[in-house]
Structure 1
Amino acid sequence: MKPLISYQQTLEILTKVALNHPWDQQQTVDLPLALNHMTAAPVNSPIQVPSFDNSAMDGFAVVTSEVNEQLQQQSKASLGITGRIQAGDSDDVSVSRGLTAPAQAWEIMTGAPVPKGFDAVVPVEAVHVDGDQVIFEKTVELGQNIRKAGTDYDIGQPVVGVNQVIQAQHIMALATVGVKKISVKKPVPVALFSTGNELSDDENSSGLAAGKIHNSNQPFLRAYLSQIDCDVTFEANCQDDEAAFELLLNQAAEKQVKVIISTGAVSMGRYDFIPSILKKRGATVHFHKAKVRPGKPILFAELPDGTLYFGLPGNPIAAASGARFFLTPLLRMIKGMPPEATILAKTMCNIDKKQGFRTFAKAQLSLSKTGQLQANMLTGQGSFQTHSFAESNCWLVLPEEAEHIAAGEYLAVLPMIPGSLTVS
């Protein structure tokens, strides 16, 4: 029996394999459809934003010196209201000015272009309107309440970089500079299989037959994969039947998927047939079993046609941790993304664990009253227990060498979904 390899060794294997499987297929999509996809190229702003000097609030556009010079001589300044400008008006507002022209103010609305020659906006609540005159009692600061052209984006300024996972805030920025379509990498096509005679397809939640369980892995993994830019193009359930499983592999090959993910049938039991079938089909098994908990039986292989294969354990939390800590790093690498940044949090309780195993624990991340990140390892850490998984907002990573971890130590935490972080 081969010795178990460490989690770090599995990452080194995944890195080597990923170098031979870059994923750079691209497609152009309408901007609203880019959510959760990855940019295929950087996007720079084609325009200035704002494209013209505009008012930051409702008020009056003035020439600063005309107000301040009056206030130097008297307690109040009075300017005639000679026009009104609202948002959507042309930015080429013509205002007659000259040495003999009387001082004037233009009523202006938020977002409206500032008339040429005017250099400040005084909010409406700071003045008094008397007929066609506006009265000022305080000096005006040059440039106040004016949003200058290009102060948000200048022409050529980066908006999003390459390999950026598009979220709603990026869509706002791209829409602001007028982007309507964007080039993104196509989602990685995957096949998803669940194995086991115990899995029930009965849609009646109260009608489970004896010995049967609902399949929680399939809907979880389908949802998780959609959040990390994968496209489940083929999925199926399979009983503990080798011929039926081989048929599924053939069908996945016809679909030309990049990755096959299965749950169950990878341990050492009588019906754990996946390792032997993969070897029979000429697959290279890069690793099978690792020093991790949950999910020790994790399997990673490569089929002769180059399809990558992850055999995840059948227990739901083991399947979830396998997807998070093995599948996800590989997908990030083949798509050209950098490794995830490590976040450290103070543990809230004493922890005992099996020495020599990297352990992925269900946990809740929160902020202390002083702003300290702290992680509380939840009760119910069994790989079959989903109630505590539903209460989690992060994974707490317990290092291999530790056997006893004292409350107050700092450990790595990772969000449930890469790139997200929720703090309660």
Structure 2
Amino acid sequence: MTAVLRECGDSDPDQLPVALAWKRLAEAAGVRVGVERVPLAHACGRILARALVAPRDVPAFTNVAVDGFAIRHADLSAFGGLLRLARGRAAAGHPFARPLAPGEAVRVLTGAPLPEGADTVVMEEEAEVLGEQLRLPMRYPRGRGVRPAGEDIRAGSLVVAAGTRLLPHHLGIAASLGLAELEVYAPLRVALFSSGDELVEVGEPLPRGGLWDVNRPLLRGLLQRLPCRVSDLGILPDRAERVQAAVAEAAASHHAILTSGGASRGEEDHLARSLATLGRLYFWRVRMKPGRPLAAGELGGAAFIALPGNPVAAAVGFALFARPLLLAIAGAPFAPPRFVELPAAFSLRRRAGRAEFLRARLVRDATGRTAVERILREGSGILTALAEADGLVHIEETVATVEPGDPVPFASLAELGLG
């Protein structure tokens, strides 16, 4: 077991760089759930299992884009811009009853089917009604004010790729295609534990030396944003046999196990060792701050992520590693958080050699640009600093200094799944 742990980073030189940890998770990720059909009302946040290919054009018919008058464009020159105004009108859901005759114009409202024979809609404010006639500008552009069939979506085109996590606009697209149900991946079953004899359930009296369990409510809330069903299995004691029995039982009925605490290398830290004993480790300990004592692997077919016990480290580890892995085994492509470069509004001097993820807020620099300002309260247990942050700045392990104005990689809390 000791050899296995060393291979996964038991000594400092062997701690896994962040990029390599992502690579190992990507290699191990694969869909572990079945497929089901659900109505649109229940599809938001789920992961699409079958690509959405358009069965028809959207819009299905050529329609009117503005209130005005439908005409044949050729009639502007043929009739000197003076057309006969037809009786009736076309409105959304109420098409004009007959084809448009030469030299004729008809009043139309936004969303109406374009009357047969018409090819242009002149805006109401561009026209002059003269009793039963209509005077129009001679040089009005042909085709203006018209939305052609298929302008948004062409029949047969790929609209939403399989593996996409469905957002409200995807549901609107499906509805525009007349689809009342979608094929999605079934929810992931996730077992959640905390670990440590010092932990006490929130609401219970706190003994001397005890700590209320912060991480389970935190992680449960983060998991509930994902397409999964959470089994909150409580607090594991610092006893190896109890830990091994509990995680083995959970692995038999869940797709993934998420734990916090017990992932370091102290005498009472049993989770990484249990994973090495009972299953397979992808890695243990990542070259980063906060969150170095983090283990990932699989146990009995279930993915396993053991997060650090400090709350900020647990949240950062969840965002960087657990969330991408869980989404991938739930049906989405494996995708680490995306960081975009913004100018720094801080300076930094440090010893290079490990990645750091700094809590940061967005500010305006002296030139008015959006920049990122470091939040100086950095402890792994200072959760309020995360609440004050807009996101995380990634200081790559080779970087020793940052000066104001230097580009630094930034990911928002929303991108990280924390906001």
TM-score range for the pair, normalised by the shorter chain length: 0.7 to 0.9
Q: Quick one: which amino acid aligns to residue 180 of structure 1? A: A
Name the residue aligned to 2:375.
378
User: May I ask how many residue pairs the two structures share in their alignment?
Assistant: 406
Match of 2:243 in 1: 245
CA-CA distance at 1:376 after TM superposition: 2.0
Match of 2:85 among 59, 65, 80: 80
Mapped partners of 2:305, 2:137: distance in 1: 73
Q: Which runs of 5+ in 2 are unaligned?
A: 1-5
* Matched AA of 1:384: G
The separation in 1 between residues aligned to 2:77 and 2:315, in whole angstroms, is 67
Indicate the residue corresponding to 2:217 in structure 1.
Answer: 219
Cα RMSD, aligned residues only: 2.9
Tell me: CA distance 1:88–1:420, structure 2 relative to 1, closer, same or farther (3 Å): farther
Greater mean deviation of Cα atoms: 152-161 or 60-69:
60-69
Check 1:115–1:9 CA distance in 2 against 1; reply closer, same or farther (3 A cut): closer
CA distance in 2, matches of 1:97, 1:386: 72
Equivalent residue of 1:396, what SS? strand
Q: Residues 192 and 262 of structure 1 are in contact (CA less than 8 Å); yes or no, is this contact kept in structure 2?
A: yes
Distance 1:330 1:336 in 2: 9
1:113 aligns with 2:113: yes
What residue number does 1:6 align with?
16
Q: 1:110 to 1:367 in 2, by over 3 A?
A: farther
Measure the CA separation in 2 of the matches of 1:261 and 1:198.
19
The match for 2:70 is: 61
Q: Measure how far apart 1:107 and its partner are.
A: 1.5
Please tell me whether residue 295 in structure 1 is matched to residue 291 in structure 2.
yes
Give 1:158 deviation, angstroms: 1.7
- Assess, with a 3 A threshold, how the Cα gap between structure 1 residues 216 and 23 changes in structure 2: closer, same or farther: same
SS of 1:38's equivalent?
A: coil
Distance 2:152 2:24 in 1: 44
1:242 Cα offset (Å):
4.6
Residue 380 of structure 1: how far off its partner (Å): 1.3
**Corresponding letter in the other structure for 1:6:** L
**One-letter amino acid of the counterpart of residue 232, structure 1:** V
CA contact (8 A) 2:98 2:115 kept: yes
C-alpha separation between the residues in 2 aligned to 1:176 and 1:120? 24
> Whole-Å Cα distance in 1 between the matches of residues 180 and 193 of structure 2?
37
Q: Which runs of 5+ in 1 are unaligned?
A: none
Q: Cα distance, 1:82 vs. partner?
A: 1.9
Whole-angstrom CA distance in 1 between matches of 2:16 and 2:177: 47
Q: Does 2:55 correspond to 1:46?
A: yes
Name the amino acid aligned to 1:64: H
Distance of 1:170 and 1:232 partners within structure 2: 25
* Cα shift at 1:29: 1.5
Query: Alpha-carbon deviations, 1:47-106, whole Å to 9, x = none?
Result: 11111111111222122233344447xxxx352232211110247x313636xxxx3221
Instruction: Note the C-alpha offset of 1:393.
Output: 2.6
1:230 is displaced (CA, Å) by 3.2
Q: Which residue of 1 aligns with 2:342?
A: 345
Shift of residue 145, structure 1, vs aligned partner? 0.4
Counterpart in the other structure of 1:177: 177
Q: TM-score when scaled to structure 1?
A: 0.85
CA shift, 1:291, in A, is: 1.8
Residue of 304, 309, 315 corresponding to 1:309: 304
Counterpart Cα distance in 1 of 2:286 and 2:309: 16
SS at match of 2:76: helix
TM-score (norm 2): 0.86
Worse overlay, 378-387 or 179-188:
179-188
Partner of 1:404 in structure 2? 401
